[in-house]
Amino acid sequence: MTNDRQDRVIEPPRRDAPDTMSAALVRGARTGGPHFRMPRVAASASSAVDDAVVLEACPVHVQGFGAAAKRALDVVGALAMLAVFGPTMLLVAVLIRVTSPGSALYTQERVGLGGRRFMMHKFRTMHLDAEAQTGPVWARQDDPRRTRLGVFLRRWSMDELPQLINVLRGEMSLVGPRPERPYFVARFSQDLPAYNQRHGMRPGLTGWAQLNGLRGNTSIDKRLEFDLHYLRHWSLKLDMTILLLTPIRMLTDKNAY
């Protein structure tokens, strides 16, 4: 590949698992080897070229029935969850206002579908101006910036519930790669050019990486590998499986802080 338009990954024949392509993208980005620079990747097709296997990127375009079904699941699911958790969300909002100064809701700019930015909503779990001295940083275990109530909310991911509004507005999906802040997107993209391929779908309230324990301060390489797996293997069945298993995963998640 001698030009700037790199749309293929060439690797020697191997008998790895079906997710070899996702791992290859991450390895290539780290080592300077071949990797995709296409903005969206969902599937792959292989062919033999001079005793090598060529993995070709297929653009992510969930169209027709698939797109309509995913959006319908998002809207119906978000409305149902708001109906169920609405009273709890109201109680949480009141408790936040009573137990610490500041607003109950916290909005933060994130990067979504196609690299477009949007304002994501969360319940506030940290003290005001938590990043005034440090700048953008990830939360860590035993983070002193968290409020007492925030520790509980973050442990059970209740701080994410306001993002159901983002889902209804079409900025997010119930399932997809988790949205990240522009600062971190720019930083991760420098080391992992394939990172921006995560923006081929709407970001999700939960995702395949999170279901596999990759949340919080965990490996970006591994998280990207799981996100690319989701993009390539997306189906309505996979979304429903992730939604059903996420509450179970929450019971044992050690990275929820």
Residue 90 placed within a domain: yes
User: Within this chain, do residues 34 and 122 fall inside the same structural domain, yes or no?
Assistant: no
Q: End-to-end CA distance of the chain: give it in Å, rounded.
A: 43
Q: Which residues of the chain have pLDDT under 70?
A: 1-63, 131-135, 138, 257
User: Within this chain, do residues 29 and 117 fall inside the same structural domain, yes or no?
Assistant: no
Return the pLDDT at 162.
98
| Contact (CB, 8 A) for 179 and 131 | no
Host domain of residue 206: 64-250
Q: Give CB contacts under 8 A, 24+ apart, made by 42-50.
A: 42/200, 42/231, 42/232, 42/234, 43/232, 44/232, 49/10
User: Within this chain, do residues 72 and 47 fall inside the same structural domain, yes or no?
Assistant: no
Return the pLDDT at 61.
54
| Contact (CB, 8 A) for 35 and 29 | yes
User: Within this chain, do residues 98 and 26 fall inside the same structural domain, yes or no?
Assistant: no
CA distance 13 to 48: 9
User: Within this chain, do residues 41 and 77 fall inside the same structural domain, yes or no?
Assistant: no
User: Within this chain, do residues 172 and 225 fall inside the same structural domain, yes or no?
Assistant: yes
The pLDDT tens digits for 167-217 are 999 999 999 999 999 999 999 999 998 999 999 999 999 999 999 999 877
Q: Which residues contact 202 (CB under 8 A, 6 or more apart)?
A: 112, 113, 170, 171, 172, 173, 176
Strand order from edge to edge, sheet including 43-49: 8-11, 52-58, 43-49
Return the pLDDT at 225.
95
User: Within this chain, do residues 91 and 206 fall inside the same structural domain, yes or no?
Assistant: yes
Residue 257 placed within a domain: no
User: Within this chain, do residues 12 and 114 fall inside the same structural domain, yes or no?
Assistant: no
pTM reported for the whole predicted model: 0.77
User: Within this chain, do residues 83 and 188 fall inside the same structural domain, yes or no?
Assistant: yes
**Pair type for strands 43-49 and 52-58:** antiparallel
* Angle in degrees, CA 60, 29, 234, rounded to 5: 25
How many structural domains compose the chain?
Answer: 2
**Pair type for strands 117-123 and 105-111:** antiparallel
Residue 255 placed within a domain: no
User: Within this chain, do residues 26 and 136 fall inside the same structural domain, yes or no?
Assistant: no
CA distance 145 to 131: 9
User: Within this chain, do residues 41 and 104 fall inside the same structural domain, yes or no?
Assistant: no
Residue 225 placed within a domain: yes
